[in-house]
Amino acid sequence: MTKQEMLKHIEEEMIICAGDHDLLEGMLDLECVDCDPEKHTADFKYKPVKWQCNDYGGVHGGMITTVCDYTMGLTIGCTVGAYVGTASLSVNYLKPMMGDEYLVHCTCLHPGNKICHGQAEVFDSKTGVMTAVCNATFCKVNFDPSK
């Protein structure tokens, strides 16, 4: 797979979700800004909005967990050529997320035949400081988006 093919695939999947505002993924403000099919990585820009924040104005922990889960799923699914579902997920919050924009760097660490492992690192775009790291296990699933 070329870089252009990977980027196109990720963008097409994001458009499907963005068109359905009844899906949580459809309400996220995400953009795939880079990818490397040889390294099994993809980078996403995330701009949180008010409803995604907690009472002190930082990004809610559940929100960044969702962003990491979704972007890792896109990266891993594209890498292995299948839809994937989350089997387990762990997040470490390193710094309060008070910024306006973040870079989520996703890596498919193990593109297995049935089970895949991934990691997402979240960086404040302005400062470059890592704010969270997420590790997850995904399973390939039988899913037909046309149904």
Q: What is the pLDDT of residues 6-39, one digit of tens each?
A: 999 888 888 777 766 677 877 787 999 999 999 9
Contact criterion met (CB below 8 Å) for 35 and 1: no
pLDDT at 13: 84
Averaged confidence pLDDT in the chain: 91
Q: What is the pLDDT of residues 79-114, one digit of tens each?
A: 998 899 999 999 999 999 999 999 999 999 999 999
3 state DSSP class of 15: helix
Q: What is the pTM of this model?
A: 0.91
Contact criterion met (CB below 8 Å) for 71 and 123: no
Q: What is the CATH number of domain 3-141?
A: 3.10.129.10
Q: Which two tokens stand for residue 103?
A: 């870079």
The DSSP bridge partners found for residue 100 are none
Query: According to DSSP H, which parts of the chain are helical?
Result: 3-18, 61-80
Q: Is the pLDDT score of 124 beyond 90?
A: yes
